[in-house]
Every structure is written in structure tokens, then in C-alpha cells.
Amino acid sequence: MTLPNPSAAARQLPPRTVKLILFALGTGGFAIGTSEFAVMGLMPEIARGLEVTEPQVGHVISAYALGVVVGAPLLAIVGARLSRRALLLALMAFYALGNIASALSPNYQAMLLFRFIAGLPHGAFFGVAALVAASISRPDQRGKAVGRIMLGLSIALLVGNPLATWLGQVLEWRYAFGVVALIALLTVAMVARTLPPDPDEPHQDPVRELRDFNRKPVWLALAIGAIGFSGMFCVFSYLAPTMTQVTGLPESWIPFGLVAFGAGGIIGTLGGGWLYDRLQFRAAALLLAWSAVVLLAFPLAAHATWSLLVVVVAVGTMGALATILQAHLMAVAARAQTLAAASNHSAFNAANALGPWLGGMAITAGFGWTSTGYVGAGTAIAGLLIYAWARRDARSAEVQVAEG
């Protein structure tokens, strides 16, 4: 139930080289996070530029998420025979091309297609990057190393998305995707320069990966992510109208809400790695319980500015679950680590679809904007139940091994 030991080549890397590799991979995460959330901030500009409605632009977001769900396992399988270094370079180069195509989209239909294509390498990149980060780190620092890769996503929420929105408003929305493509190409250059080839890296067999992937501990961990994590997206997706309709703030305050969420995401990403290194899979239970408490507090906190911003920071810390489950999946996936680590992002994009859908149903039924907090708390509790199921199965397996 642990990751394989680092190879001889990985153990010889000096600390400075390890830091540079993690920085390069984190830069790739920043590019992906900026691109993923850019459409949300530039929705009015994209709608005007493509001559469609804002709800139609929402489908562009869904197209990207669908690309992540499809691409993460697919590209992990297709690229299984490549070295991790070669696969990382190919995935990030592919991501750059997808964003260049997005920037050049001539119409709405092309934009839908190109955003789907851009989403394809998202999950596979994070999955392979997490494996590389763990393989070059000491066993007691692997969770922290994975957290640094995921930190790029959180910094994108705090810095990248507001800057992309500003750039798109000042110039044109297409420039935002053009800049993301440049950052992706910079990542390719940095990874190529800092990450050496590893001659001792084990070669993967796609058939064996699929067989080892199809195991109960893997599916339960993915279910925790898809269901237990959806509460965060449920609240975040409707944060803007909650701030204006419930808290009574002007639209000019919405960026402050986004910054608060991004700050919480950074805290959660760093804290998630720290928690996993100390508690292992038990850290997921702690995060899910914390999520339920925070989400239950959201409806009450939404009526005052100061309390809303504090709770939004706390909602952002729920992102720690991504780091925890990423590290856990690599521990339980046996020889399907690449596929499992990539599929983690498919699970979280499923949560990104499930949370807003459930929240929208509650709002449409007349329960109000703040009902997203109660709905989200329910999904966190459901995630806790799945966690309990996974822990019970793990204990039963340990007993059978001890007796047999």
C-alpha cells in the first residue's frame, strides 16, 4: 500500500534540482489552472466576441471539463509505454496547441471543440507530474511534493485567473488563452532542462495498468473525490450571485470573493500534503468532516461581508482533498499508478459537474442561493460514508493477510 521506492537515478538528484523540477511542474499546473477558470471570468467578453449568450458560454466550460474526464484515463493508457519525462513534454506541448487553437477560434462551434481538445491532457499531466514529484522525493515528503504540484492550480485561482480576466477585458479575450499557451511552452522548456531521463524507470504495460486499476480501493477513492468534493464546486459556482443577492454587495466586490477562495485554495493545497504525510488516508476523513462543518456555516455567514469572506477562504481550503486523494491513489493503485493518478482529475471534474447541478436544482426549487451550503454539506457527508466503506474494506484485507 505504498509507493515504490525512488529509482537509483532519482535518489542521486541534488535538492536544488528537485526544487527546480517541482517548480517547473507547478508552472504547468499554473498554466492549466489559469486556462481552466479563464472562461468564468471572461464570460461576457467571450459571449460578445462569439455572438452567443452567456449560458452558451457556460457550455464551453462543460466542454473543457468533459475533455478532462475523457482525456485523463485515455492519454494515460495511450502514453503508458512512454517515459514519464517524454509523456510530460508531449502533454504540455499538446496543451499549448489546444490553447492556441482556443485563442484563434473563428466561431462558437470551433470554440467548443477546441476547449474540449484543450481539456484532454489536463488530468494526465497532473497525474504523471504527481508520480514524478513523489518519485524524486523522500518517502516522508511525498505528500508535500504532490501538494507543490497542485499549488500551481491554487495560485492560478488567486493570481492567474484575475490577471487573465483583466487582460481579456483590456485587450481581447483571445489574448488570455495566448498567454496560457506561452506559459505552457515555457513549462515544456523548463521540464526538458531540469528533469533528467531516468534509465531505471519501470516500463508500464497498458493491459496490466487496466487490470490493476479495476480494483475496489481505487474506485472508492475516485468516488470520494467525485461525490465528497462536489460541495466545494456547488458553493463556488454560485458565489457571485450569492454575494450580490444575499450579502447585498455590488458586483465590484466579486473579485474579492474570488481572491478569498484562491487564498483558501493555497492554504488547503499546502496543508493537504502536510496532513497526508502525517495521517495518510485518514487525512481524507478529517477534510470531509471539516468540509461538512464549513458548508453548513456558509448559509449563515453569507448575510455579512466579513463572515462571508472568512467562510469562502475556508471553502477554498477544501481543495486539500485533491492532494490527499492524489497521494492515496498512487499508494493503492499497485502498477496502475499513472492511470489512477490521472483519473483523480476525472473524478474532480465529475464533482465540478455534479456540485453545480445539485445546487442549481435546490435554487430552482425555491430554496434560495444559500441552499448550496446545505447541499454541499450533504455531499461531504456522503463522501465520509464512502471513506468509511473504504477503510472497512482495507481493514478486512489486512486481517485476511494476517490470517492467511
The 10s digit of each residue's pLDDT in 313-363 is 999 999 888 888 877 887 777 667 677 777 777 888 788 778 877 888 888
Query: How sure is the predictor about 2, in pLDDT bands with cuts at 50, 70 and 90?
Result: very low
CATH number at residue 157: 1.20.1250.20
Task: Single out the residue of 309, 259, 325, 268 nearest to residue 291, CA to CA.
Answer: 268
Question: Is 325 inside any structural domain?
Answer: yes
pLDDT band, residue 179 (cuts 50/70/90): very high
Say if residue 188 is in the same domain as residue 214. no
Rounded to 5 degrees, φ, ψ at 258 are -65, -40
Whether 129 and 263 share a structural domain: no
Beta-strand (E) ranges in 200-324? none
Q: 310-344 in b/e burial notation, b at 16+ Cβ within 10 A?
A: ebbbbbbbbbbbbbbbbbbbbbbbbbbbbbbbbbb
Which has more pLDDT, 101 or 4? 101
Residue 388 pLDDT: 92
Note whether 344 and 245 are same-domain residues: yes
Residue at 3 is within a domain = no
Long-range pairs of 385-391 with CB within 8 A, sequence gap ≥ 24:
386/220, 386/223, 386/224, 386/227, 386/228, 387/224, 387/228, 387/284, 387/285, 387/288, 388/285, 389/220, 390/217, 390/220, 390/221, 390/224, 390/281, 391/281, 391/285
Helices (H), 79-160: 84-103, 108-135, 142-155
More confident residue, 50 or 62: 50
Question: Would the pTM count as exceeding 0.75?
Answer: no
Q: Which pLDDT belongs to residue 401?
A: 45
Give yes or no: residues 305 and 351 share one domain. Answer: yes
Q: Which of 168, 201, 234 is where one domain is finished?
A: 201
112 within some domain: yes
In the chain, the percentage of residues whose pLDDT exceeds 70 is 88
- Same domain for 369 and 293, yes or no, is yes
**Based on the domain organization, do 216 and 186 belong to the same domain?**
no
Per-residue pLDDT at 370 exceeds 60: yes
Work out the average pLDDT over 108-113: 91
* Structure confidence at residue 205 as a pLDDT band (50, 70, 90): low
Q: CB neighbours (10 Å) of residue 370?
A: 21
Biggest distance spanned by C-alpha atoms of the chain: 68
How many domains would you assign to the chain? 2
Same structural domain for residues 246 and 306? yes
Whether residue 2 is contained in a domain is answered as no
pLDDT-derived band at 387 (thresholds 50, 70, 90) equals: very high
pLDDT band of residue 201 (cuts 50, 70, 90) is low
Q: Note whether residue 1 is domain-resident.
A: no
Specify the DSSP element, H or E, that contains 38: helix 15-41
Range of the domain at 344: 204-404
